[in-house]
Amino acid sequence: FKINQTEQLAGKAARTERAMERLEVIEEPREAWQLRLVFGEAPRSGAVVARLTSVALQRGDFSLGPIDLAIGAGERIALVGSNGSGKTTLLQILLGRLAPTSGEAYLGPSVVVGELEQGRLQLSDTETLLEAFMHATEMKVPEARTLLAKFGIGASEVNRPTGSLSPGERTRAVLALLMARGTNCLVLDEPTNHLDLAAIEQLEIALESFAGTVLLVTHDRALLSNVRLTRSIELKHGKVVADRIFSAS
């Protein structure tokens, strides 16, 4: 009996010691899941992405140009200027969506444009977000749900009509669309509107790793400072008043 009692006490002591050892192990806090945004890339475009030759546009009281401009593959350009200076109009001409009143506008045939505004239009307001996203990307349900979830869009949002989404949810959905589809020319017009700080930081990282051409319009000074640029084109009253090339650093 004494032997059994001794063995029981020894076993109890061992179990107590193991329990104390487990208590002493401090678990590292789990890192919160983070978005890893990487834009899909299409094959490289030709050497000249777009070219404007003596381009001018007259719309009511607003006039643009004349502008002579060439954009090469891989350039990372910020279009800057105050509201109403002509930045969006210039973008639409560069992308072939707006015909100039005079002059010639050329867009390279192998240029695959990816842009926030175009993405917003591609997501039909009458369908659910999941349906619209699947139609735009040709993804199956599991892949579409997984990608949207990475952008913080869960089950309760994907089954709602796209038109009922908040501006932030819609912007995240369009970023997911740009991620899913290949592009060699990113056109970002005020991309940080409605994004939280974490998403903005990941957007900056994604832009850094993107090897194609970037056309960026933003009033976000922090974004302009954090994104690597090779060129800045400033517009004022429809005229290009400065075209700066930045040296590599």
Domain-embedded: residue 7: no
Domain-embedded: residue 53: yes
Domain-embedded: residue 26: no
Query: What CATH number did the domain enclosing 220 receive?
Result: 3.40.50.300
Domain-embedded: residue 13: no
Give the predicted TM-score (pTM) of the model.
0.72
Sequence-separated (6 or more) residues with CB below 8 Å from residue 41: 182, 183, 184, 210, 211, 212
Taking only the tens place, the pLDDT of each residue in 204-214 is 887 888 888 99
Domain-embedded: residue 106: yes
Q: What's the helix, strand, coil split of the chain in %, to 5?
A: 40, 25, 35
**% of the chain with per-residue pLDDT over 90:** 37
Q: How many domains does the chain have?
A: 1
Look at 16 and 87; give whichever has higher pLDDT. 87
Domain-embedded: residue 162: yes
Domain-embedded: residue 27: no
Q: What 3-state class would DSSP assign to 234?
A: strand
Residue owning tokens 């192998």: 110
**% of the chain with per-residue pLDDT over 70:** 79
For residue 164, report the phi and psi dihedrals to the nearest 5 degrees. -90, -5
Domain-embedded: residue 1: no
**Reported confidence tier of residue 40, pLDDT bands at 50, 70, 90:** low
Which range marks the domain in which residue 235 is found? Answer: 48-245
